[in-house]
């Protein structure tokens, strides 16, 4: 059975990566709240080791910033915000206006 990506409960094309980004942000927030600890003989703490491991994992995941999406005005399918053509119906799309007022 095939499902249309726009009819699924997670209609954002990259919803699993979005959820992973949110999980990483929550872990980083909790790590920031850890109290300072007593250091061992080499001056390291368990929290510092955990922070380093999480930073390494985040680097390996290479999630990058959250992509931005928009809906095609013709067919209503979701696509990348910066797209110039709809990937579903091939309608030419107007470049989005940035918050600074610059097109692009």
- Residue with more model confidence, 55 or 96: 55
Residues 6+ apart with CB under 8 A from 67: 14, 80, 81
pTM: 0.52
Domain locations along the chain: 15-65, 68-104
Distances 37 to 26, 67, 98 between C-alpha atoms, Å: 21, 37, 45
More confident residue, 58 or 3: 58
Under DSSP, the state recorded for 85 is B
Confidence of residue 7 (pLDDT cuts 50, 70, 90): very low
**Torsion angle defined by CA atoms of residues 14, 75, 86 and 97, in that order, rounded to the nearest 10 degrees:** -90
Residues whose CB is less than 8 angstroms from the CB of residue 12 and which lie 6 or more positions away in sequence, other chains included: 18, 69, 78
**Any idea what DSSP says for residue 8?**
S
């Amino acid at each position: 059975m095939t499902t249309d990506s726009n009819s699924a409960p997670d209609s954002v094309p990259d919803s699993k990566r979005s959820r992973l980004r949110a999980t990483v942000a929550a872990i980083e927030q909790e790590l920031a709240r850890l109290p300072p600890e007593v250091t061992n003989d080499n001056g390291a703490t368990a929290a510092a080791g955990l922070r380093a491991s999480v930073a390494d994992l985040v680097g390996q995941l290479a999630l990058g910033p959250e992509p931005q999406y928009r809906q095609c005005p013709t067919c209503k399918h979701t696509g990348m915000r910066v797209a110039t053509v709809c990937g579903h119906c091939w309608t030419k799309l107007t470049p989005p206006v940035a918050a600074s007022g610059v097109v692009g």
